[in-house]
Amino acid sequence: MLLILFLSYLSQICLALYPSSGNVVELTPSNFDKLVIRGDEVWVVEFFAPWCGHCKNLVPEYTKAANALKGIIKVGAVDTDEHKELGGQYGVRGFPTIKIFGSDKRKPEDYNGGRTAKDIVEAALKAAKAKVKAKLGLGGGSSQSDDDEGKDVIELTDSNFEELVIKSDDMWLVEFFAPWCGHCKNLAPHWSKAASELKGKVKLGALDATVHQVKSSQYGVHGYPTIKFFAPGAKDSPTDYDGGRTSNDIVNWALDKLSENIPAPVVSQIVDEKSFKESCEDKPLCVIVILPHILDCQSECRNNYINLLTSIGEKFKKKMWGWVWSEAGAQLDLENALDIGGFGYPAMAVINLKKMKYSILRGSFSNDGIYEFLRDLSYGKGNTAPVKGESLPKINNIEPWNGKDGVLPEEEDIDLSDVEFEEKDEL
C-alpha cells in the first residue's frame, strides 16, 4: 500500500513538470482569470501536456526564462491534460503552445519563436515594451509593432483557411511551419519580405502545423517548412513550391506563377469615378485610351481597337497595370489634364497615380507602336509630365456603350408655314 502511495506521489511530481517552489506559476481555471486576465503584469503562458516529449524538452529553457524574468514579467504554465477547458478556451491543439498576454489580455499573441530561454525572454520584453508604448499613447499595442516584421504575412488557422484561401479568387503561397523548426526560423525574414513585395499580387500565409493539424494533415504535410501554391480554379489540388528560400527566389517564383494564371487584363470603359478607380487606383500604372467618337468609328472599328489593346495587355499582364478607355469628348476634363487628344484619336496616355505623372504615346497607334511605347515605360524609359492640377479632374457619369453602331439624331421637321419673310425690293 505504501509503495502504491509513493508511486502515485512520484507520478504526480513527474506529471507537474514544474515544481511549485519555482518561478513558473501553476495556472488553473480557479486562478487564471485573477492572475493573468485581471492582473496588470504581462504574462508568458505555456499550455503543455505532461506526456509531451517537446514539452519535457522545453522545461529547462522555460524555467531559465522564468528565472531571468522574475520581478519583471510573469511566467506561467497550464497542464492542459488536467485543465482542458483552458486549453479549449484559447484554441490550443498542439503542445507546447505558448501565448503572451500583453496589452489586450482577451487577445493573447501566439509565440512562434525559438525554444531557447533567450528567444522567450526577448519576446516577453518586446510585449512589455509594446504595452508601455500603448499606455503612453504612442501606439504599439502589439509586440510586433516595433518593426512590423511579418505584417503582410497572413496568419492562417484551421478555422479561417477555407474562407481566406480556398474560397478566394486570390493566388496563395502557404507556409506550413513548426515554431521549433530551425529552417522555419531562417525562412521567416525572407517570407516576410517576399509577402511585402508581392502584396496586391500574390498572398502569402503561414500556418502553424503543430497547432492547426487538420489542414496540415489534409495537405500531407510531414516536414517543415512545407510550402504549397494554391492557384485560382485549382485550390483543391495545390502544388508544391520548388523554388529557393530567399525572398528574391520566392518573389520570382510567385510572379512566374502569376503570369501563368492571371487572365489578360480587361479594358474597361470609364463610365463614372468608381469604374475609373477600380481599374486604376491601386495599379502601378494605368493605360488610358481615348477612342474616336462612335459616329467616326462604328462598332466594328471600335471593337478592333479594344481587341488590339486586350492583345497587347496580355503581353504586359505580369505588370498588373490598369487598362481603361473612353469615347472622345466623354471625359474632356480628363483629356485636358493629360494633354491627350491633341494629335487626334485614338490617343493613349499612361499615368502613375501615386506620382501623378503621365506619358503620352507620340508614335503610331498600332501593335508595334503601342508595344514599343509600353515596353520603354516598363523599363523606366520615356518622357513624363506632371498631371495638370493637384488631383485628377472629376470623372463624368455616362451611359456605358451598348456595343452597337452610332446613329445620327433624327432631324426635326420644321413647319415654316407661319414664318413671315421680309420682302426685298427688286433691283
* Residue 279 one-letter amino acid: S
DSSP 8-state secondary structure symbol assigned to residue 223:
S
Q: Is the peptide bond before 263 cis (omega within 30 degrees of 0)?
A: no
Q: What is the CB neighbour count within 10 angstroms for residue 184?
A: 22
Stronger pLDDT, 80 or 391, i.e. the higher one: 80
Cα(224)–Cα(220) distance, rounded to whole angstroms? 12
pLDDT of residue 318: 77
pLDDT in tens, 45-104: 999 999 999 999 999 999 999 999 999 999 999 999 999 989 888 888 888 999 999 988
- State mean pLDDT over 204-232: 93
Q: Is the peptide bond before 386 cis (omega within 30 degrees of 0)?
A: no
25-29, 47-51, 129-133, range with the lowest pLDDT: 129-133
268-277, 283-292, 415-424, range with the lowest pLDDT: 415-424
DSSP class per residue in 5-61: HHHHHHHHHHHH-S-TTSSSEEE-TTTHIIIIISSSS-EEEEEE-TT-HHHHHHHHH
28-42, 85-99, 287-301, range with the lowest pLDDT: 85-99
Could you give the count of Cα atoms lying within 13 Å of 89 in the half-sphere of its Cβ? 16
DSSP class per residue in 158-208: TTTHIIIIITSSS-EEEEEE-TT-HHHHHHHHHHHHHHHHTTTTSEEEEEE
Cα(316)–Cα(375) distance, rounded to whole angstroms? 8
Confidence of residue 15 (pLDDT cuts 50, 70, 90): very low
The yes-or-no verdict on residue 238 having pLDDT over 90 is yes
Number of helices (H), then strands (E), in the chain: 13, 16
Bridge partners, residue 358, by sequence: 351, 385
Cα(90)–Cα(239) distance, rounded to whole angstroms? 32
Nearest to 73 by CA among 40, 106, 37: 40
- State mean pLDDT over 143-159: 70
Of the ranges 290-299, 352-361, 412-421, the best mean pLDDT one? 290-299
Cα(192)–Cα(184) distance, rounded to whole angstroms? 12
Confidence of residue 412 (pLDDT cuts 50, 70, 90): low
With beta carbons less than 8 A apart as the criterion, state whether 377 and 403 touch: no
- State mean pLDDT over 325-353: 90
Confidence of residue 110 (pLDDT cuts 50, 70, 90): confident
Domains and CATH numbers, the chain: 15-135 (3.40.30.10), 154-261 (3.40.30.10), 268-386 (3.40.30.10)
pLDDT of residue 24: 96
With beta carbons less than 8 A apart as the criterion, state whether 111 and 127 touch: no
pLDDT of residue 424: 58
- Cell numbers representing residue 311 in the block: 492583345
Query: SS3 of 240, please?
Result: strand
Of the ranges 6-20, 147-161, 254-268, 365-379, the best mean pLDDT one? 365-379
The yes-or-no verdict on residue 282 having pLDDT over 50 is yes
Q: What is the CB neighbour count within 10 angstroms for residue 124?
A: 26
From the number of C-beta atoms within 10 Å of its C-beta (0-12, 13-18, 19+), residue 98 rates as: buried
The yes-or-no verdict on residue 258 having pLDDT over 90 is no
Query: SS3 of 312, please?
Result: helix
CA angle 266, 271, 273 (to 5 degrees): 100
* Residue 214 one-letter amino acid: V
- Cell numbers representing residue 210 in the block: 503543430
pLDDT of residue 388: 82
Bridge partners, residue 385, by sequence: 358
- List strands edge to edge, sheet with 97-101: 25-27, 74-79, 43-48, 97-101, 109-110
Confidence of residue 401 (pLDDT cuts 50, 70, 90): very high
Cα(192)–Cα(150) distance, rounded to whole angstroms? 5
Cα(341)–Cα(292) distance, rounded to whole angstroms? 10
**CA-to-CA dists, residue 301 to 157, 192, 222, 308, angstroms:** 52, 48, 58, 11
Which residues are identified as catalytic? 52, 55, 181, 184
The answer to pTM > 0.85 is no
Average pLDDT, the chain: 87
DSSP 8-state secondary structure symbol assigned to residue 319:
G
Confidence of residue 375 (pLDDT cuts 50, 70, 90): very high
